[in-house]
Amino acid sequence: MNIPLTLFAPCPLGLEALLAEELRSLGAQNVRAARAGVSFAGDLATAYRACLWSRLAARVLVRITEVPAGSAEELYDSVVALPWEEHVSVDGTIAVEFTSSRSPITHTKYGALKVKDAIVDRFRELEGRRPNVDTVAPDLRVNVAARSRSAVISIDLAGSALHRRGYREQGMQVEAPLKENLAAAVLMFAGWPQIAAKGGGFLDPMCGSGTLAIEAALMAGDVAPGILRSYWGFDGWLGHNADIWDGLLDNADDRAEVGRENMPPIRCRDIDPRAVSLAGGCIKRAGLEGLVIVEQADARRIHPFGDTPGLVALNPPYGVRLGDSAAAHELFGATGEVLRDRFEGWRVVTITGQEAPATDFGLSVDQTYEVYNGAIPALVSVMDTSAAPVVIPDEATPVPAESMFANRLIKNSKRLSKWACKADVSCYRLYDADMPEFSAAVDLYTGAGPDQGRRWVHVAEYAPPRSIDADAAKRRLAEIVEAIPEAMDVQPEDVFLKVRRRQKGSEQYVRQESRDVFNTVSESGLLFAVNLSDYLDTGLFLDHRPTRELLRAESLGKRFLNLFAYTGAATVHAAAGGAVSTLTVDMSQTYLDWAERNMRLNGMTGAAHTRVRADVITWLRTAAARRNGLFDLIFCDPPSFSNSKRMDASFDVQRDHVKLLSAVAGLLAPAGEILFSDNLRTFAMDHAGLAEEGLVATDITPSTIPEDFARNPRIHNAWRVRRV
C-alpha cells in the first residue's frame, strides 16, 4: 500500500489547474499540471481515490517504466523484456492504447500491435500460451505514449474513460452531450461546492440529458462520481489490492448516505420533451430520483426558489448544434433578461461557443475559462446577476477583445501575487499564452536595490503559426500592449515588447535594441541586473528559479563550475550558498561581463571567483580545462542547438548530450554531481549511452518547475548526473 507510484491523470484541455487542486485534496503528492493532464505521486490508495473521487480526470495511469522506442523493432524488444507476468494472468485479457508525438512510430495502430505482440510473445516464451485481447473490458489495459525516441509504459487503472459515470444509457442521449467531467469543471469554475454548502439551490433551464444537474447533485451530496461504475481497469490487474479498494468503497457509501440527507434544492428544465425524458432516466440511474427535479418548461419562464441565492448553469446549443446564430442570440438575450429581473444575487455560469458568446445574455462577466467540449472549443463564463447589466452589443459595436486578455491578466495577477508574496518571489511569469488568440508570455519584474519600488512588464510575443493572418496577429499584440498598463498599474514606458521568432543557433542572444539600460531586481535576497530592452531574454531565466535555489542549497564548501553560464545567475547562488570557489565559462564576453556585474552587486569578488571566455565544447577537450582542478558541483545548461562561428562544430543537445556529459564528468571530483538542464521540449535522456560512460541520470524536472510556470511544465528538463 505504501509503495510510491508515479501517476498521470489526463483531462480535457483547460482543466489542468482545477484537476491539480482536486488531486491535492485527494492526498496526491508532487502534483504538476501539464498540457491536458496532471502528473502526481502517491501510494495505491491515492491512485484508487483518484479513480473513485476525481470528477475531472479522464483516466488514471500508473507509470511502469520508460523504454527506448526509436523504431517499432526497438519498442518490441523493450516491451518483451518487461515482466508482464507480474501484471496480468496468462488466462486474462489485455488491450493496448497507443499515442504518438514526434515519434518515429507514427502509425498508432501499428505501434499498439507491436506492443501487444511483445506482451503475448513473452507469455508464449514463459508458459507456452498467451492472454487474449479484449478491447472493451480487458483485465489489463496498457497505455503507451511514444515521445521522440522513447515510450512511457503505463497501466490504465480506470480501464475506460472516467467521465462514464454509469448513469447514461448508451446511444440514448441528446446530440453532442456535455461530458460529465467537463460539466463538473463548469460547476467548479462557478464555485458551486461553496454555494451548495451555504444551502443555495441549483437550476439548469436548458438541461438536455441533465448532466449539469446530476453532477451538481453528486457534488452537493458528497457522492463519489465513480461509485456507480461496474468495471475498473484494475479489476484483473495482479497489483490490485481488494482490501484497500473495498475500504474506500465503504467510506464512499457512508459519505453519500449522509450527503443525500443534506442536499440543497436542485432542478433542471428543458423545452424539449425528449430531453426531459432522457434526463429523467439519467437521474434515476444516478440514484437521485426525488432529489433532482426535472420538468418541461421554457428557459424564458423560470423563477428562483429556495431561501438562499444559488447557481444557474446553462449549456445552451452552440457549435455544430447551433444551426441558427440569430436564434441563439435571441434566446440568450431573452433568458438573460429573465435572470437579471428575477434572480438577483444568484450566480450564473454558461458554457458557450465562439459564435454564441455569453455576453449575449447581457450580464456582467466576472471570469472566463477556455475549454474544449470534445473537439469543439468553448468558453466557460461566470457572471453575476447583482452587477449592473451590460448593453448587449450589435455587430457595429463588438465587445473589445482586449478586455478578455485584461481580465485574464488581472485574474492571474491576483492568484500569483499571493503565492509570490508568500514565497518571497518578486519576478515571475503572469501569463503564458493562456488564450490561444493572445499568444505571448508576460513577465512582471519588481525593482530592488537602487530600483526599489519600480515595476516593469516584459512581453515576449510567440511567433504565430502560418495559418494565422499576420495582420490579425499584429492587432492582438497591440491589444496586449495597450491592456497591460491599466491592468497591471504600470506606466506605458515600463512595458517592454519582444517578438519571439524561431531562432537559429545563437541568434536568440543577438541584440534587439542598443539602449544598454540595466535595472536591478532581487531573487532569494540576491541582486541581479536585468536588461529589459536590448535582448530577447532579460538576463534572468525565471523558470530556473528553483534550480538556482537547489544549487545554492547544495554548494556549501564545494568547488562550483558553471558551464554555458549566460549571465552567471547560477554562480551567484552557488557563491551565496558557501561555495569555496566558482568558475564561470561562456563563449560571450558580453555575458561574462554581465556575470561579473551580478557578482559585484552581491559583493562576491576576489580570486576565488573566476571567469573564462571559451567555447565550452572546445574548452572541455583541452588540457587547460583540467588544469583548473576538479569540481564538486557542476551546472551545465547548454543550448538546444548551436552552430556559432566561434565553435569548431555544431552542437545538438539531443544528439550530443552523452558526449557532453561524459566530458563534463571528467572534471568531477569522486563524489561530485552534475546538475544538467536543457529546454528542448522533446529531449529524451539516453540512459543506455550514459551507462556506457559509467554515468547515471535522475530526472528531477517536476521539482524544478516553479508555480508560475505550472501551465507549461515542459519549459525545461533537469537531471542529476552522477558516476555509477
The band of 54, judged by pLDDT with boundaries at 50, 70 and 90, is: very high
CATH code (residue 674)? 3.40.50.150
- On whether both 418 and 390 belong to a single domain, the answer is no
Q: What is residue 365's predicted lDDT score, i.e. its pLDDT?
A: 82
DSSP string of 160-190, one letter each residue: S-TT--S-SPTT-S-SSPPPHHHHHHHHHHT
Q: What is residue 127's predicted lDDT score, i.e. its pLDDT?
A: 94
Domain membership of residue 37 (yes or no) is: yes
- On whether both 59 and 112 belong to a single domain, the answer is yes
- On whether both 117 and 202 belong to a single domain, the answer is no
Residue, of 468 and 383, whose pLDDT is higher: 383
Which residue, 458, 492, 509, sits at the end of a domain? 509
The band of 659, judged by pLDDT with boundaries at 50, 70 and 90, is: very high
- On whether both 384 and 456 belong to a single domain, the answer is no
Residue corresponding to grid cell 573564462: 612
Q: Which is nearest to 420 in space by CA: 702, 708, 17? A: 708
- On whether both 341 and 420 belong to a single domain, the answer is no
The band of 145, judged by pLDDT with boundaries at 50, 70 and 90, is: very high
CATH code (residue 450)? 3.30.750.80
- On whether both 694 and 607 belong to a single domain, the answer is yes
- On whether both 377 and 468 belong to a single domain, the answer is no
Domain membership of residue 694 (yes or no) is: yes
- On whether both 208 and 339 belong to a single domain, the answer is yes
- pLDDT for 512 beyond 50: no
Summarised one tens digit per residue, pLDDT across range 610-630 is 999 999 999 998 855 555 678
The band of 474, judged by pLDDT with boundaries at 50, 70 and 90, is: confident
- On whether both 391 and 365 belong to a single domain, the answer is yes
Domain membership of residue 232 (yes or no) is: no
Residue, of 450 and 398, whose pLDDT is higher: 450
Summarised one tens digit per residue, pLDDT across range 543-592 is 999 999 999 999 999 999 999 999 999 999 999 999 999 999 999 999 99
> C-alpha distances in angstroms, 303 versus 269, 529, 547, 600?
11, 60, 56, 69
Which residue, 343, 374, 397, sits at the end of a domain? 397
Q: What is residue 352's predicted lDDT score, i.e. its pLDDT?
A: 85
The CA distance from 562 to 569, in Å, is: 10
Rounded to 5°, the CA angle 47-146-695 comes to 85
Query: What percent of the chain is predicted at pLDDT more than 90?
Result: 67
The domain tally of the chain equals 4
Domain membership of residue 257 (yes or no) is: no
**For all residues of the chain together, what is the average pLDDT?**
88
- On whether both 189 and 324 belong to a single domain, the answer is yes
- On whether both 441 and 331 belong to a single domain, the answer is no
Q: What is residue 354's predicted lDDT score, i.e. its pLDDT?
A: 57
Q: Is 494 left (phi over 0), alpha (psi -120 to 50) or beta?
A: alpha
Burial class (CB in 10 A: 0-12, 13-18, 19+), 466: exposed
Domain membership of residue 711 (yes or no) is: yes
Q: What is residue 398's predicted lDDT score, i.e. its pLDDT?
A: 41
- pLDDT for 132 beyond 60: yes
Summarised one tens digit per residue, pLDDT across range 302-317 is 999 988 999 999 998 7
Per the structure, the complete domain to which residue 454 belongs is given by 403-509
The arithmetic mean of pLDDT across residues 508-531, rounded, is 76
Q: Which is nearest to 457 in space by CA: 435, 420, 428, 499? A: 428
CATH code (residue 18)? 3.30.2130.30
Domain membership of residue 476 (yes or no) is: yes
- On whether both 186 and 324 belong to a single domain, the answer is yes
CB 222 within 8 A of CB 258: yes
Which residue, 397, 416, 448, sits at the end of a domain? 397
The arithmetic mean of pLDDT across residues 194-200, rounded, is 93
Summarised one tens digit per residue, pLDDT across range 253-297 is 999 999 999 899 999 999 999 999 999 999 999 999 999 999 999
Residue, of 109 and 402, whose pLDDT is higher: 109
Domain membership of residue 211 (yes or no) is: yes
Domain membership of residue 226 (yes or no) is: no
CB 355 within 8 A of CB 315: no
- pLDDT for 322 beyond 50: no
